[in-house]
């Protein structure tokens, strides 16, 4: 018996298991037939069938075989997962010898489903109660929850373009029940899926359903669109399809096809003779999916010189052919053919255009194309993927019925009369098309000139939108051919010797010839053995400059042979050999001695056998090359350069020592070594004769300075040792405590420190380097002297006064000078006319009026870089303006004295007058005799009077400027002497009395 299999995920309630379709072809039964469903261990026919889970009986009224057809047994059963079940046929009261055949066309059992059995039931039935006629087995191993399946996915257009409609199809199949419905989802090129609404087909009761959806492509060329299907069956199972994709195609670019040209083809390089070039045959066809416009062919030589040009702007349709004979004769060499073909209209994506639009009657695109509408009052343009619209607005109810437009360009416009588009123009130079699609009506087109056309429409609307200007679709291809028209003539360099730094050499070779060339470089060592080969290929005519670099070289001399091959004529012309030499330092086995070292005793200059290691670095940093010279137990040695005639710029660090002598270091930077021998003494000091001198280098902010170059000399130029400071700013030298040395410390950006010093202690010596910026800032007042007039800081109101700023400079060059008068908020007057490189004197006459404060402010510039501003503040008082007053008297005296004395002279004169008055009072007036307190009070009163009139003014820039509380500017300069005398005299009187 054959078994049937299916999967069950667990115990399921199987409704209406129907077994039908029995056919009896071997005779008629004479007994009752009972169908049973039992498990695999039900037993033999004589058993009681204890595992029976479904029973049913079919009793036939007669024994005609046709009555067995389409009989069914219906029932409900609980089927467990992973259990083998059997349908069992049992005959009752059957006679012997009858055989029966049962057939089926399917074998699956599921909820609400039907199982059609196909099984021969051939047995000899006996007349007993439990004769088993047949036993058909099946396994619960196929899922009763299997979702719908998806197949035959298709799309009616595999390369749709923007605005195309597409029809997407798929077949839904359900093995268990019927498909109840589906959902279609796609991302429209965004990457995020959007579901359509659920479509129900449950009422149609399909187990297999073909479904489809219609969509419109709304995204530009090259966008990848994803879509997917979901389906449910009537058992509640959900199926999900794979993700399908379709790529949006663009409008096909026009292209050309080459047909049997005699001088170039797309498959290989053609070589033609001069005679063939004079009658070159051109046979081309062009194709476009919309409409062809024109083509251009340009032929250039290897120097990019245009030697031939041909243009045809009369192509049309979607397919066009062109044949002709042309003359492309020229000099020998390679030539490039560039063929560009353009269509008249394309939906290809375009970049952003610069558009002039708004309250006006015209649109301008990219400053090149202008569309003007007569009578329009407002224009606008919006970008689509492939074009820009043209919108023209007119005054409602007053819009002209005959709309007139002018199309203009800075290059020739071609009107395509037979185009499928209305009023279609092509601007091939600017690569644009223009048409007037979008409204009803047939346009009338009139040519004004090559750059301007007139377009007329009959239309009564007050707003017109055309869809309207875009970029041309073009295709450009390149081909090559070789014209053999001249003999080969290589001009090669003569023998020369070339030198190079580092283990690499570069060969530069000029080759002149009217042919294709290949150059073979062969590198030989100093023994002329071949060690490397390199080929350089190049095509063209004229002079070529070949370069090749060989690296990783260790020998000092190399020979290079260059061979040039003409591919066309196989002409070979070999150069003479070029000699290359590596420039380097040597230990003097070869080369010229550029520096000779001796190791000597610092004290008596006697020769000392010592050890030394000198490391040279040269060739900058691209890359840095090094050479190390090491000697042991020698007092004299040299370093050489090879080749002898060359020169090198190098740094070196020499470390040297000897028995009982302390090790020293000498650092030398940016020294030039050539065919002149330098000498250098390396001085050593006995360990018992010296001490360590340690210096700490810092800046003005106490930060350690690393990389400071320190040099120790006995006398200028007689170097003993040189080292650089470490990260902590520390450097240590070994010196004789009985000798005075010159210590020099230098670092970029700082002023050098040079000092003569005899070091007798091992304590750290701190040296501060002042930055160059600090040095400049600290010296901006060097040689500068200035003063303001009037010197008295208290002025009368409504008085015309001559204000003066006077400055001299004995160090800096005065490059700018100005003087102005102002109050706290407003500038009154200014001048910057009277100054030269060493002096600035600027007078300003000004009436004090009713001002309460006047500030004199001067700004000067030194050496075109340093700017400084100085000022003085005056207080204006309201005074009696009669014939005479004490204030007027004092001002008159002050003005008189100011006319002939400066601040210092008035200060000395005041002191003399005060001393005279106090001395006279103490001698002649009895009230002052022996009364020190009264004399001090008199002195303070006199100082107050002279301070008030400004005779004791001290114009010192070092005094602080204390402002606020209504105090005039620079008041402390005027009252400093009085304040000090008041404090001093007052403290004396208080201490004596109390």
Q: Which of 158-162, 397-401, 429-433, 623-627 has the highest mean pLDDT?
A: 397-401
Average pLDDT over residues 38-67: 42
User: Which tops the pLDDT comparison, 306 or 710?
Assistant: 710
Which has the minimum average pLDDT: 4-18, 161-175, 738-752? 4-18
Q: Poorest-confidence range of 288-302, 598-612, 754-768?
A: 288-302
Better-scored residue on pLDDT, 496 or 201:
201
Kindly report the CATH number that applies to the domain delimited by 595-660+670-776. 2.60.40.10
Neighbour tally for 129: CB within 10 Å: 11
Tell me what the mean pLDDT of segment 734-758 comes to: 93
Top-confidence residue, 736 or 502: 736
Tens-place pLDDT, residues 698-709: 998 889 999 999
- Residue 541 is predicted with a pLDDT of 54
d(CA 474, CA 345): 10
Nearest-angstrom CA–CA distance, 348 and 221: 7
For residue 167, is pLDDT > 80? yes
pLDDT of residue 177: 75
CATH class of the domain at 149-247:
mainly beta
Position 824 scores a pLDDT of 76
Tell me the per-residue pLDDT of 596-612, one tens digit each, with 9 for 90 and over.
Answer: 999 999 999 999 999 99
Inter-CA distances, 312 with 88, 423, 672, Å: 89, 22, 68
Handedness of CA 100, 104, 108, 113 (dihedral sign): negative
Largest CA distance in the chain: 181
| Strands 100-102 and 32-39, bridge-based pairing | unpaired
Report helix angle 903-924 to 932-948, nearest 10: 150
Choice between 520 and 761, residue whose per-residue pLDDT is larger: 761
In sign, the C-alpha dihedral spanning 946, 947, 949, 952 is positive
Mean of pLDDT values over 938-958 = 78
Q: Which of 11-25, 199-213, 307-321 has the lowest mean pLDDT?
A: 11-25
In this predicted model, what pLDDT tens digit does every residue of 458-488 receive, in sequence order? 998 999 999 788 888 788 888 888 876 544 3
pLDDT of residue 608: 95
HSE of 643, CA atoms in CB hemisphere, 13 A = 12
| Closest alpha carbon to 109 in 51, 61, 177 | 177
Tokens describing residue 438: 């979008």
For range 313-328, the mean pLDDT: 81
Show the CA angle centred on residue 153, arms to residues 148 and 155, nearest 5°. 145
Quick one: pLDDT band at residue 111, thresholds 50, 70, 90? very low
**Half-sphere exposure of residue 727, counting CA atoms within 13 Å on the CB side?**
0
* Percent of all residues in the chain with a pLDDT value above 90, rounded to a whole number: 24
Other beta carbons within 10 angstroms of residue 70's beta carbon come to: 10
- Give per-residue burial for 654-663: e unless 16+ CB within 10 Å, then b: bbbbbeebbe
The per-residue pLDDT for 908 is: 84
Q: Kindly tell me the burial class for residue 842, based on how many C-beta atoms sit within 10 Å of its own C-beta (0-12, 13-18, 19 or more).
A: buried
The whole-number average pLDDT for the span 313-317 is 75
Q: What is the pLDDT of residue 620?
A: 64
273-284: per-residue pLDDT in tens?
777 788 888 888
How far, in Å, are 19, 204, 233, 985 from residue 240 at the CA level?
33, 21, 12, 108
Which strands make up the sheet holding 452-458, listed edge to edge? Answer: 355-356, 362-365, 369-373, 402-409, 452-458, 444-449
| Residue 954 three-state SS | coil
Lowest mean pLDDT among 407-421, 429-443, 560-574: 560-574
pLDDT at 551: 75
pLDDT band at 615 (very low <50, low <70, confident <90, very high): very high
H, E, C per residue of 17-66: CEEECECCCCCCCCCEEEEEEEECCCCCCCCCCCCCCEEEEECCCCCCHH
Give residue 110's pLDDT.
34
CA distances from 236 to 145, 176, 345, 490 (A): 8, 11, 53, 87
Q: What is the third-level CATH fold of 779-883?
A: Immunoglobulin-like (2.60.40)
Q: Across-strand partners of 535?
A: 520
| 3-class state of residue 99 by DSSP | coil
Q: Give the residue carrying structure tokens 């066009």.
A: 320
pLDDT bracket for residue 115 (50, 70, 90):
very low
Give Rg (Cα) of the chain: 56
Instruction: Read off the pTM.
Output: 0.34
Distant-in-sequence, close-in-space partners of 397: CB < 8 Å, separation ≥ 6: 462
* Range name among 66-70, 262-266, 553-557 with the lowest pLDDT average: 66-70
Tokens (6 digits) for 880: 């009696």
pLDDT tops 70 at residue 138: no
The alpha carbon dihedral of 264, 265, 270, 276 has a sign of negative
Query: Of 776 and 470, which is predicted with more confidence?
Result: 470
Specify the CATH number of the domain 486-583: 2.60.40.2550
- The CA–CA distances, whole Å, from 11 to 56, 80, 83, 690 equal 22, 4, 10, 105
Q: Report CA 516 to chain centroid distance, whole Å.
A: 41
| Confidence class for position 622, pLDDT limits 50, 70, 90 | low
SS3 564: strand
Decide the pairing of beta strands 18-20 and 84-92. Answer: unpaired
- Contact between 280 and 265 (Cβ < 8 Å): no
Q: How far is CA 716 from the centre of its chain?
A: 54
The pLDDT value recorded for residue 574 is: 54
pLDDT band at 50 (very low <50, low <70, confident <90, very high): very low
User: What is the predicted pLDDT for the residue at 477?
Assistant: 84
**Pairing verdict, β 425-427 and 369-373:** unpaired
Whole-number pLDDT of residue 218: 82
Q: What is the pLDDT of residue 170?
A: 93
Greatest mean pLDDT range, 199-213, 599-613, 789-803, 978-992:
599-613
Q: Mean pLDDT throughout 350-371?
A: 91
- Asked if residues 407 and 450 have their Cβ atoms less than 8 Å apart, the reply is no
Provide the token pair at 761: 């202690």
**Which CATH architecture fits 253-485?**
Sandwich (2.60)
- Mean pLDDT to the nearest integer, 799-822: 88
Higher pLDDT, 102 or 649: 649
- Confidence class of residue 564 from pLDDT cuts 50, 70 and 90? low
Q: What is the pLDDT of residue 569?
A: 46
Quote the pLDDT of residue 776: 53
Task: Answer for the pair 516, 486: CB distance below 8 angstroms, yes or no.
Answer: no
User: Which pLDDT score, from 0 to 100, does residue 371 have?
Assistant: 95
Share of the chain above pLDDT 70, in %: 71
pLDDT at 102: 36
Between CA 799 and CA 891 the distance in angstroms is 12
| Tokens describing residue 660 | 């009982």
Pair of tokens at residue 53? 């889970």
Whole-angstrom Cα distance, residue 536 to residue 564? 9
First-to-final CA distance of the chain: 142
Q: Is the pLDDT at 975 greater than 70, yes or no?
A: yes
Among 111-115, 275-279, 676-680, 941-945, which stretch is predicted with the lowest mean pLDDT?
A: 111-115
Query: What integer pLDDT is reported at residue 53 of this predicted model?
Result: 39
pLDDT at 182: 93
Distance CA 793, CA 165 (A): 94
Q: What is the mean pLDDT of the chain?
A: 76
Q: State residue 292's pLDDT score.
A: 81
On the 0-12 / 13-18 / 19+ scale of CB atoms within 10 A, 681 is middle
Estimate the crossing angle of helix 903-924 against helix 886-898, to 10 degrees.
130
What is the SS3 string spanning 505-536? EEEEEEEEECCCEEEEEEEECCCCCEEEEEEE
Greater model confidence, 336 or 931: 336
Report the pLDDT averaged over residues 247-263: 73
pLDDT of residue 767: 92
> For residue 940, what is the enclosing H or E element?
helix 932-948
Q: 171 pLDDT band (50/70/90 cuts)?
A: very high
């Amino acid at each position: 018996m054959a078994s049937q299999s299916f999967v069950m995920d667990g115990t399921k309630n199987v409704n209406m298991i129907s077994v039908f379709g029995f056919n009896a072809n071997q005779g008629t039964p004479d007994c009752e037939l009972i169908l049973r469903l039992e498990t695999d261990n039900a037993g033999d026919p004589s058993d009681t069938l204890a595992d029976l889970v479904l029973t049913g009986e079919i009793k036939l009224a007669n024994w005609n075989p046709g009555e067995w057809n389409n009989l069914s047994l219906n029932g409900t059963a609980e089927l467990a997962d992973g259990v083998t079940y059997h349908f069992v046929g049992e005959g009752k009261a059957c006679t012997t010898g009858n055989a029966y055949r049962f057939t089926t066309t399917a074998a699956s059992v599921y909820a609400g489903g039907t199982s059609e059995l196909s099984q021969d039931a051939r047995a000899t039935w006996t007349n007993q109660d439990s004769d088993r006629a047949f036993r058909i087995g099946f396994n619960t191993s196929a899922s009763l929850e299997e979702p719908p399946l998806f197949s035959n996915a298709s799309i009616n257009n595999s390369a749709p373009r923007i605005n195309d409609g597409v029809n997407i199809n798929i077949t839904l199949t359900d093995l268990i029940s019927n498909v109840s419905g589906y959902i279609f989802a796609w991302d429209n090129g965004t990457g995020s899926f959007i579901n359509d609404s659920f479509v129900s087909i449950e009422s149609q009761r399909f187990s297999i359903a073909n479904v489809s959806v219609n969509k419109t492509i709304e995204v530009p060329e090259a966008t990848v669109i994803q879509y997917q299907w979901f389906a449910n069956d009537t058992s509640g199972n959900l199926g999900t399809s794979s993700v399908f994709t379709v790529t949006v195609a663009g409008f096909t670019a026009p292209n050309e096809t080459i047909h049997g040209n005699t001088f170039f083809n797309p498959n290989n390089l053609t070589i033609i003779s001069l005679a063939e070039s004079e009658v070159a045959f051109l046979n081309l066809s062009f194709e476009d999916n919309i409409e062809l416009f024109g083509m251009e062919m340009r032929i250039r030589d290897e120097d990019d010189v245009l030697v031939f040009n041909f243009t045809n702007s009369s192509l049309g349709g979607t397919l066009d052919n062109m044949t002709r004979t042309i003359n492309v004769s020229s000099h020998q060499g390679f030539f490039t053919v560039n063929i560009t073909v353009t269509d008249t209209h394309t939906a290809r994506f375009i970049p952003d255009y610069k558009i002039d639009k708004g309250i006006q009657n015209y649109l301008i695109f990219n400053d090149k194309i202008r569309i003007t509408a007569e009578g329009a009052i407002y224009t606008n343009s919006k970008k689509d993927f492939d074009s820009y619209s043209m919108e023209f607005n007119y005054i409602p109810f007053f819009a002209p019925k005959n709309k007139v437009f002018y199309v203009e360009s800075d290059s020739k416009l071609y009107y395509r009369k037979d185009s499928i588009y209305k009023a279609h123009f092509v601007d091939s130079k600017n690569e644009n098309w223009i048409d007037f699609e979008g409204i009803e009506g047939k346009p009338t087109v009139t040519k004004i000139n090559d750059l301007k056309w007139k377009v007329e429409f009959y239309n009564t609307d007050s707003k017109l939108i055309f869809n309207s200007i875009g970029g041309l679709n073009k295709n450009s291809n390149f081909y090559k051919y070789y014209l053999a028209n001249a003999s080969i003539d290589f001009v090669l360099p003569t023998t020369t010797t070339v030198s190079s730094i580092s283990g690499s050499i570069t060969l530069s070779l000029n080759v002149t010839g009217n042919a294709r060339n290949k150059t073979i470089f062969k590198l030989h060592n100093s023994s002329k053995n071949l060690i490397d080969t390199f080929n350089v290929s190049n095509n063209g005519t004229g002079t070529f400059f070949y370069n090749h670099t060989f690296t990783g070289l260790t020998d000092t001399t190399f020979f290079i042979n260059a061979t040039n091959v003409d591919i066309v004529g196989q002409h070979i012309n070999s150069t003479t050999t070029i000699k290359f030499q590596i420039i380097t330092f040597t230990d003097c086995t070869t080369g010229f001695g550029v520096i000779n070292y001796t190791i000597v005793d610092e004290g008596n200059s006697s020769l000392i056998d010592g050890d030394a290691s000198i490391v040279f670095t040269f060739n900058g940093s691209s890359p840095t090359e090094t050479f190390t010279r090491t000697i042991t137990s020698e007092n004299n040695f040299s370093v050489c350069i090879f080749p002898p005639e060359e020169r090198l710029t190098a740094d070196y660090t020499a470390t040297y020592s000897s028995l009982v002598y302390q090790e020293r270091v000498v650092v030398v930077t940016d020294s030039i070594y050539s065919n002149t021998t330098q000498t250098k003494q390396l001085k050593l000091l006995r360990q018992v004769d010296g001490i360590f001198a340690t210096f700490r280098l810092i800046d003005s902010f106490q930060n350690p300075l690393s990389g400071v170059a320190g040099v120790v000399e006995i006398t200028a130029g007689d170097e003993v040792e040189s080292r650089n400071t470490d990260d902590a700013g520390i450097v240590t030298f070994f010196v004789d405590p009985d000798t005075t040395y010159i210590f020099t410390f230098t670092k970029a950006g700082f002023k050098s420190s040079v000092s003569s010093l005899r070091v007798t202690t091992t304590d750290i010596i701190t040296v501060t380097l002042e930055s160059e910026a600090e040095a400049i800032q600290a010296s901006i007042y060097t040689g500068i002297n200035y003063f303001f007039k009037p010197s008295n800081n208290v002025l009368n109101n409504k008085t015309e006064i001559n204000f003066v700023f006077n400055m001299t400079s004995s160090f800096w060059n005065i490059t700018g000078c100005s003087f102005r008068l102002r109050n706290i908020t407003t500038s009154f007057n200014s001048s910057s006319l009277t100054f030269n490189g060493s002096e600035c004197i600027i007078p300003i006459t000004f009436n004090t009026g009713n001002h309460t404060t006047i500030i004199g402010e001067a700004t000067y510039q030194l050496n075109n870089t340093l700017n400084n501003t100085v000022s003085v503040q005056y207080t204006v008082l309201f005074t009696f303006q009669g014939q005479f007053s004490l204030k007027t008297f004092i001002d008159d005296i002050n003005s008189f004295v100011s006319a002939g004395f400066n601040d210092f002279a008035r200060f000395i004169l005041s002191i003399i007058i005060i001393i005279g008055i106090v001395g006279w009072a103490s001698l002649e007036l009895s009230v002052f005799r022996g009364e020190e307190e009264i004399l001090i009070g008199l002195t303070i009163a006199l100082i107050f009077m002279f301070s008030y009139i400004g005779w004791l003014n001290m114009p010192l820039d070092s005094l602080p400027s204390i402002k606020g509380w209504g105090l005039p500017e620079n008041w402390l300069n005027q009252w400093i002497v009085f304040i000090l005398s008041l404090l001093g005299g007052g403290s004396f009187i208080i201490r004596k009395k109390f």
